[in-house]
Amino acid sequence: MRPVQISRRRLLGSSLLTAAAAVTFPGLGWGRQYGQGGGVPWSPGVADEPYYGTEPLEFFSAAERRAADAITARLIPSDESGPGAREADVVTFLDRQLAGFYGRAQRWYMSGPFPEPLETQGYQAPQTPAQLWRAGLAALDDHCRETHDGREFAELSEDEQDAVLTGLDEEEIEFDGVSAKQFFDFAREMTIEGFFCDPVYGGNRDMLGWRYVGFPGARYDYRDFLAHNGARVDIPPVSLFGRPEWTR
Amino acid sequence: MVERKRPVDVVLVGFGWTAAIMAQELTEEGLEVLALERGGWRDTGTDFPTTHAPDELRYYWRHAMFQETARETQTFRNRRGQTALPIRRWGSYLPGVGVGGAGVHWNGQTFRFLPSDFVAKTHNEERYGELPEEMTVQDYGVTYEELEPHFDRFEKLCGISGKAGNLQGRIVQGGNPFEGFRSDEYPNPPMEMTFSQHRFEAAANGMDLHPFPAPSANMSRAYTNPLGVQMAPCTYCGFCEKFGCGNFSKASPQTTIIPVLMNKPNFHLRTHCEVMQVLKDRSGERARGVLYLDAHGKLWEQPAEIVILCGYQLSNTRLMMLSGIGEIYDPQTGDGLVGKNYTYQVMSGVDIFFEEEYTNEFIGAGALGMVVDDYNGDNFDHSGLGFIGGAYIACWTTNQRPIESHPVPEGTPEWGLEWKRAVQRNFLKHTSLSVHGASMAHRDNYLDLDPTYTDQWGRPLMRMTYDFTENDRRLSDYITPIAEEIARNMGGREIGVTRRADDAYDIWPYQTTHNTGGTIMGETPDDSVVNRYLQSWDLPNLFIMGAGVFPQNAGYNPTDTVAALTYWSAQAIREQYLRDPGPLVQA
């Protein structure tokens, strides 16, 4: 068999792409040579900080932010058992994620064609997450205005909101140009991320999500608790930021 | 023009577990060894210290340690006749990238395959009669007895924590009585078990099964390995799989070999260098080196006397296809071998929810578990069952990272108030059993090149055609109920069952990163891509490491066997090939 040839034209384009990636991800850097007796390259006190997701960029317009916040508040509602996604500021998490590399699907294979997939073929939407949210939120508000006397999603009652979200989830409501089900699934997935991620990413404010379920967060030593034998291990959470008490 | 680099003795493609082992072994022989890694340099202190390592979003959900599908992915379909589509977001498996490879983000579950797994065809046919024609199962061409010293070396390199069940043929209480003989005890004692494992052990004993502590690459105590590299005791932080260990407590290339390797004058590593092709010499009968692309987008030729593919199984197989070495498998004619016998793992799971007791599963480690092996391999009589192979059943407590793991009982809504309350109620009161099943080769499960989708260089993506088989379904139907019975006997309020093989294989839900086959090993060039020493039948100075050489997959995690095969191959290179650099097995 003959080897597959590499396209020269694509190769030329690729070096630009790599350069752009290096600028976007400062941790990536250029290729380097190591070894030849030089030992492990390491400097004390230097570590890569979690740099992504925390960009102070904004993705949502005011209307989009209202709708997105209202969706998260129904997916993980607040009640007497504890706070929900709104209190945990999940919408800020969404805003930062969608403004960053994740929103751009920068690491995903996004080339077409995009035929109708099998159920077993995973995520096949032609939109990036940012495009999916933008189109989905607009379509959601359009749908609500048409069906609810001109009111947008955030202006509906909680019961009305739940009915609309159920319609998306169960594929009873469809949008033009974007899959309503795909949008709903993505909204649900990212709301859970924003409720349970480390607070460095803008969600899970005050570690509310972790406190709600009893997760102690970014700890790394539980040896003292191994012999719990079925009794509750109840220790306060700590974030990559530390704990509020540490800085008071 | 492609410029040439200065020739080296050995070029390693990729720099994970198998490359680190090969580099260590071949530099000892005085050879000049170069590793080309497409990802970046990574070490514990800088890249995943304890202050940053426990970041679920960054490492798992934003894939900080995994390949980018934008750079390399596969297309997937269940069967011929369907249109394969690219995997845009990883789901079912998570290939690694960067120094250390997937050896940085593995759990550390370190099992040896059974002696009968290496002779799956002859063993099963002798005992049960001829296998169905479409089951393209074959022997490895190497035996457990031959590999035993190499398993032992890897386990000592890693400081595996465990309990031997078969010491030189003597069955030892508390270990796995079904395992192949061990020349020596594990280098470290088992990990400290928690509530869930105690319940599992009692339930399994009550059913006359043989529970044993899982062999673990998480350190049960401080350890200095034979190369003099030190590791620290595991702290049970629950961030192993999908994460780097910030604590030097999980065996990885970084914590076992790389510190030694980096001090050797005859080893060097170039990062952000992606190998595009293995180059043949004019005769077409030897490899002359590799073609690679550096971070500036410049192509280089790297000449080498020996080329060793040390990438992940999927990457190695595709590189063979793109390099035009050997013939790509065609299921309709049965011709060709590259891409043949792609196999995976047949998984099912049982969730257990307790009412009173707390499992506190955030206190966990990647390989913290109790296991029964009574229904693995051919440890039980398969007469009349209609399948071969088996599965271990384990109670692992690996984590309770909340984005990934917030299980609720069946019938709970998927969002809203009722869901939220169910998450809270069960979060600290849940454990699960894993049924980790073998995957037997089938004529229609294979890899080839996609006709439509290409990578950024215009080269075809590799296409995966895969679905669960009748053997898989019968295996899962037989063994999952045994796990359910153990689960019911553990004293919880209720259980829930997930069986992957009940439906078509789905590329989205995570199952395992145990992709195997595609560059299979065997006894003749008619049935395999590499010989018993992992040497290419086509180009004798080309060797292929990794689980791609498994002709079919056993009911265990593959790393221990991958590593043992690497040591075995390295020994053959050192003791035989260097003296006479030709085929180690005459065709």
Under an 8 A CB cutoff, do A232 and B360 touch?
yes
Q: How does residue A6 score in pLDDT terms, banded at 50, 70 and 90? A: low
The reported pLDDT for the residue numbered A28 is: 42
* B324 contact residues in A (CB cutoff 8 A): 1-4
Asked if B111 and B556 touch (Cβ cutoff 8 Å), the reply is: yes
The reported pLDDT for the residue numbered A45 is: 73
Q: Which of B150, B210, B442, B514 is catalytic?
A: B514
Under an 8 A CB cutoff, do A82 and B424 touch?
yes
CB distance from B415 to chain A under 8 Å?
yes
Q: How does residue A73 score in pLDDT terms, banded at 50, 70 and 90? A: very high
Nearest residue in A to B362, CA atom: A215
Residue B587 lies in a domain: no
CB distance from B198 to chain A under 8 Å?
yes
Under an 8 A CB cutoff, do A196 and B403 touch?
yes
The reported pLDDT for the residue numbered A56 is: 65
Helix (H, G, I), strand (E, B) or coil at A163: helix
* B328 contact residues in A (CB cutoff 8 A): 1
The reported pLDDT for the residue numbered B459 is: 97
Q: What angle do CA A220, A226, A227 make, to 5 degrees?
A: 160
Residue B546 lies in a domain: yes
Strands B8-13 and B230-231: unpaired
Under an 8 A CB cutoff, do B263 and A37 touch?
yes
Asked if A133 and A120 touch (Cβ cutoff 8 Å), the reply is: no
CB distance from B5 to chain A under 8 Å?
no
Nearest residue in B to A124, CA atom: B88
Residue B122 lies in a domain: yes
How many beta-carbon pairs below 8 A join chains A and B?
Answer: 296
pLDDT at A16 over 50: no
* Spans of chain B below 50 pLDDT: none
Q: What is the CATH number of the domain that holds B424?
A: 3.50.50.60
Give which of B582, B564, B586 is closest to B25, Cα–Cα: B564
Under an 8 A CB cutoff, do B424 and A209 touch?
no
The reported pLDDT for the residue numbered A29 is: 46
CB neighbours of residue B523 within 10 Å: 15
Range of the domain at B75: 3-577
The reported pLDDT for the residue numbered A26 is: 37
Name the token pair of B377. Answer: 């391999």
Give which of B8, B59, B577 is closest to B303, Cα–Cα: B8
Q: Looking at the 3D structure of chain B, how many domains does it have?
A: 1
Q: How does residue A27 score in pLDDT terms, banded at 50, 70 and 90? A: very low
The reported pLDDT for the residue numbered B427 is: 98
Under an 8 A CB cutoff, do A77 and B417 touch?
yes
The reported pLDDT for the residue numbered A21 is: 43
Asked if B215 and B161 touch (Cβ cutoff 8 Å), the reply is: yes
**Adjacent-strand bridge partners of B170:** B167
The reported pLDDT for the residue numbered A13 is: 46
* A196 contact residues in B (CB cutoff 8 A): 56, 402-403, 406
Residue B585 lies in a domain: no
Give which of B166, B548, B211 is closest to B370, Cα–Cα: B211
First-to-last C-alpha distance (Å) of chain A: 69
Instruction: Write out the DSSP string of B83-138.
Output: PPEE--S--S---B-STTGGGTT---B-PPPPGGGGGHHHHHHHHH-PPPTT----
Give which of B245, B249, B176 is closest to B556, Cα–Cα: B176
Under an 8 A CB cutoff, do A47 and B362 touch?
no
Q: How does residue A19 score in pLDDT terms, banded at 50, 70 and 90? A: very low
The reported pLDDT for the residue numbered A189 is: 98
Q: How does residue A48 score in pLDDT terms, banded at 50, 70 and 90? A: low
H/E stretch holding B288 reads strand B287-293
CB distance from B403 to chain A under 8 Å?
yes
pLDDT at A53 over 80: no
**Distance from B33 to chain A by nearest Cα, in Å?**
10
Residue B406 annotated as catalytic: no
Name the token pair of A238. Answer: 């700590």
* B236 contact residues in A (CB cutoff 8 A): 221-223, 226
**Distance from B114 to chain A by nearest Cα, in Å?**
32
Q: How far apart are CA A193 and CA B528, in angstroms?
A: 45
Asked if A46 and B58 touch (Cβ cutoff 8 Å), the reply is: no
The reported pLDDT for the residue numbered A248 is: 54
CB distance from A221 to chain B under 8 Å?
yes
Give which of B254, B199, B203, B194 is closest to B229, Cα–Cα: B254
A4-8, A42-46, A182-186: the lowest-pLDDT one? A4-8
Q: Which amino acid is at B175?
A: G
The answer for B 149-188 residues in CB contact with A (under 8 A) is none
Residue B370 lies in a domain: yes
Tell me: ipTM over 0.85.
yes
Under an 8 A CB cutoff, do B457 and A47 touch?
no
The reported pLDDT for the residue numbered B518 is: 98
Residue B586 lies in a domain: no
Under an 8 A CB cutoff, do A228 and B87 touch?
no
CB distance from A117 to chain B under 8 Å?
yes
Give which of B435, B432, B346 is closest to B397, Cα–Cα: B432
Instruction: Write out the DSSP string of A58-82.
Output: ----HHHHHHHHHHHHHHS--BTTB
CA contacts within 13 A on the Cβ side of B208: 0
Nearest residue in A to B504, CA atom: A120
The reported pLDDT for the residue numbered A36 is: 81
